[in-house]
Amino acid sequence: MTHAKTPPPEAASLAVFAQALTRRFGNFIAVDHVDLSVKPHEIFGFLGANGAGKTTTIRMLCGLLAPTGGEAWVDGLSISTQADAVKHRIGYMSQKFSLYTDLTLSENLEFYGGVYSLTHNEIADRSAVIMEQLGLTPFRSRLPKELPLGYRQRLALGCSVLHKPRILFLDEPTGGVDPVARRTFWDLIYRLADEGSTVFVTTHYMDEAEYCGRVSIMDKGQIVALGSPNELKREQNALTMQDVFLKVVKP
């Protein structure tokens, strides 16, 4: 039987704490000795170009992919030895969220509520609130495949927050959606943080980095910049986060 690792003292007060977190695929190092800390109730942005290692990192933190080196604790739980417990503490929206195309929007929410052991009344009440917040109420009886991508992404987000997770991992939640939908997403992200959730969000939209309390920039599997948007702009003598990104990420 594998015993849970005792977290270092720092991990007890943090939502996410990683030490030398590493993931190899053969000879390729996707995530290279990443150290990271995320505070409770923080909106933490995780930036990087495609292939930088963001998704691999987030999958490890969600207990979906075992690290090949280092360790991380999510809500005080080891991702190596307590992965199943981690999964019940978090919400996760992947880049390719698996919705059930033969279930209506309401039925998808009901299904995911059952996965998280919510009662029938909890599912009904929470689903009504989420659909109203995300503008999905008029489409509650529609199938996901009948709706544009932006609405499917809204439903995917709704499923990931239905159980009011302590920590929410969003992997490029606004990819491919229109500016109005992006604003709706961020309104809900702010609301979730206000209600006590920690939000860990990856994005390749540099303007969205401005919405985060702190951001990190990942390049070739390593974190190359970390701080608040204003701090990073001052450090790099840049006017925008786009300029910061271009300065710290090497071609």
pTM, two decimal places: 0.90
Q: Which amino acid is at 138?
A: P
Average model confidence (pLDDT) across the chain: 91
Per-residue pLDDT reduced to its tens digit, 161-215: 999 899 999 998 887 777 887 888 888 889 889 989 999 999 888 889 999 999 9
Structural domain harbouring 192: 9-248
Q: Which of 84, 65, 78 is nearest to 22 (CA)?
A: 65
The CATH number for 146's domain is: 3.40.50.300
Find residue 223's DSSP bridge partners. 218
Whether 4 is covered by a domain: the verdict is no
- The answer to whether the beta carbons of residues 112 and 162 sit under 8 Å apart is yes
Beta strands 69-74 and 43-48 are unpaired
> 142 or 177: whose pLDDT is higher?
142
Which residues lie below 8 Å from residue 115, measured CB to CB, with a gap of 6+?
none
Whether 76 is covered by a domain: the verdict is yes
Q: Which of 77, 47, 41 is nearest to 61 (CA)?
A: 77
Whether 36 is covered by a domain: the verdict is yes
Domains: count for the chain: 1
Whether 90 is covered by a domain: the verdict is yes
**Cα maximum dimension of the chain:** 53
Whether 2 is covered by a domain: the verdict is no
Long-range contacts, stretch 7-12, CB < 8 angstroms, 24+ apart: 7/73, 7/76, 7/78, 10/37, 11/73, 11/76, 12/76
